[in-house]
Amino acid sequence: MNLLIWNAQGLGNPWTERSLASLVTNFSPQMIFIAESKIGKVRAESLRVKLGFVGCFVVEARGKSGGLILLWSMDVETQVLSFSPFHIDSFVRIENGQWWRFTGFYGDPDPSQRCHSWKLLRRISRMYSGPWAVGGDFNEIVSQKEKMGGLPKPRYLINNFRKALDSCHLRDGCYEGSEYTWCNGRKNDLIFERLNRVCGNLEWFDMFPSMKVRHLDRTNSDHCALLLMEYDPHVQHHNKTRWRTRFHFESAWAEDNECANIVQLAWQHEKEVSNTRELQSRLGRCGQALQQWNKTKKKEMSRHLKEYEDKMALLTRSTSIQDWQQMQDLERKQNIWLDKEEMFWKQRSRALWLKEGDKNTKFFHRKASNRKAKNTIHGLIDDRLQWITGNRNMGRVACDYFKQLFTSTPANRNDLQEFQSIIPNRIFRAINDYLLEPFTEEEVFKEMRHIHPSKAPPSDGLPGLFYKNTGH
C-alpha cells in the first residue's frame, strides 16, 4: 500500500490544494495524513470528495493554525482510535486482512512546549500493542547532521526526542530522496532540517519488510511530502487491449487562442455550405484538424510537466539560494501547465456539479477512468442463454439481437386501420404547416445558446462549447 504524509501549511491555498491533487495523481495513495491543514470539516469533506476517497477524519484548525486530516480509500479499512490537535491514531486493515496501527503525528512547533508532544507519544504507545508506525512532522531532529544552516540545535531538544522514540520502541525507517524535508525559504538565511519522518516498531517492520519511505519534491510548501510505499517484486503488469477512442472537443482547447485559428483554416472553402452533407464534411475537417493539433499540444504538455518535475527534483536536493529561487520560478510555471491538465480531465469526468476553480485532477481522472470501466463489456448472453465472451463472438451476438429487433413483420391492414382510428388527432393542418417550415438562422442561434457546453456531444464529437467558442 501507499501512504502519503504531508505538512501542507494550509489547504486553503489553491496552489497547495493543486499540489496535493498532483501528488495523489502521481502516487495513488490509499491513505493520506495531512498536518497544518488550516481548514474545517466542511472544507475537508469537500476535499475528500474531490480527491475520490471514501473516508475522512478531521481535527479542525484552531483559528488559522493547526488542523489534521486523515483520508483513506476503499482499498483499506480504517478505524480511528483517538485524536488531539497533535495526532490521529488509527487501526488499518489491508487487503490480506492484517491489522496494524498508524498514528499521524504533529510535534508542537513551540520548542518550550515540545516536551508535551513526547508525553503524548509515550501515552499513545501504551494504549495498544502490535505492529505500529508513526509518521508526520515531528518538528525535531535526532542529530545535528539533520540540520544545515543557522545556529546548532540545542542538545537537550535532540536528546528529548531521541529518548521519546526509544521509550516507545520506535526506530527510524530508511528513506530515499532529499536529505532534508524542510526549508525556511529565507533567501538570506536558508536553513534545512529533516523534521518529517516515519518510524515503526519491530513488529511493524516484520510485517512490512519491504516498506520504504521516499522524500518527494517540495512544491507549494516548505515541507516535502513523504511517501510510505511497499515494494512488491511479484506485481505483474498485463497488457490490455487498447480501444480506439472517439473524437471529443476538449474544454481546455477553448482556452487556447490557436483553437479558433485552427477551426477557421479548416472551415475555409471556395463553396458556401448549401446542404447537410457539406456541413458534415466541414465539421469533420474541423475535427480532424483539432485532433492532430491536440496530439501535438498533449505531447507538449507532457514534455513541459516532465521537464519541470525533473529540474525540480534536482534543485530540491540543493541548498543554494540561487537554486531555491529557480525552483520557485519552475513551481509557478508548473502550476500553469497543471491548470491545462485539470481542464482536460474536467470534461472527461463529466462531473458537471463541480466548480470551475476546483483543483482536483486526481478526482477528475478517477471519474473519467470509472466511466471507461463502466463502459467496458465483459460478456453478453445470447438467445440460448449462453454467456458469450470475446470481441468477435460478442459482436455476432449484438448484431443478431438488433437485426431481429428491428426487422419488420407484415402487419394486418384491418388491425392497423383499427389501431389508427382510436388514436386522437393532436396535430392539425395549421400546426403541421408551421412545423414543416424551414428553420431560420435566428432560431438556430437561439437554440445553440441553450446547449450545455460539455454534456454528451453528438457523433461528430463537437459539443455546444465548440459552437459558442468558434462562432461557426
Question: Can you read off the three cell numbers belonging to residue 149?
Answer: 544552516
**Closest Cα to residue 99, out of 55, 132, 136?**
132
Helices 321-349, 276-315: crossing angle, 10 deg rounding:
150
CA distance 283 to 354: 30
User: Tell me, what's the pLDDT at 152?
Assistant: 94
Q: What is the pLDDT of residue 161?
A: 97
Q: Which residues pair with 6 in a beta bridge?
A: 34
Q: Which residues is 147 bridged to in the sheet?
A: 193
Cell numbers that stand for 153 in this block: 540545535
Say which CATH class 2-230 falls into: alpha beta
- Cβ contact 92:76 at 8 Å: yes
Provide the phi-psi class of 471: left if phi over 0, else alpha when psi is between -120 and 50, else beta.
left
**Angle in degrees, CA 448, 280, 270, rounded to 5:** 105
Residue with C-alpha cell 521537464?
307
- Model pLDDT, residue 140: 97
How would you classify residue 182: left for phi > 0, otherwise alpha for psi between -120 and 50, otherwise beta? beta
Q: What is the pLDDT of residue 4?
A: 97
pLDDT of residue 365: 57
pLDDT of residue 469: 67
Q: What is the pTM of this model?
A: 0.59
Q: Are 259 and 462 in contact (CB under 8 A)?
A: no
pLDDT by 10s per residue, the chain, length 472: 899 999 999 998 888 998 899 899 999 999 999 999 999 999 999 999 999 999 999 999 988 789 999 999 998 999 999 999 999 999 999 877 889 999 999 999 999 999 999 999 999 999 999 999 999 999 999 999 999 999 999 999 999 999 999 999 999 988 888 899 999 888 788 899 999 999 999 999 999 988 999 999 888 899 999 999 986 544 444 444 445 566 667 776 776 778 878 888 877 765 677 677 777 787 888 888 888 887 787 777 778 777 777 777 777 767 677 777 777 788 777 777 777 676 666 655 544 444 444 445 555 555 555 555 555 677 888 888 888 888 888 999 999 998 888 887 776 777 777 777 788 877 888 888 888 888 887 887 787 777 777 666 666 667 777 776 666 5
> Which residues are registered as beta bridge partners of 2?
229
pLDDT at 354: 45
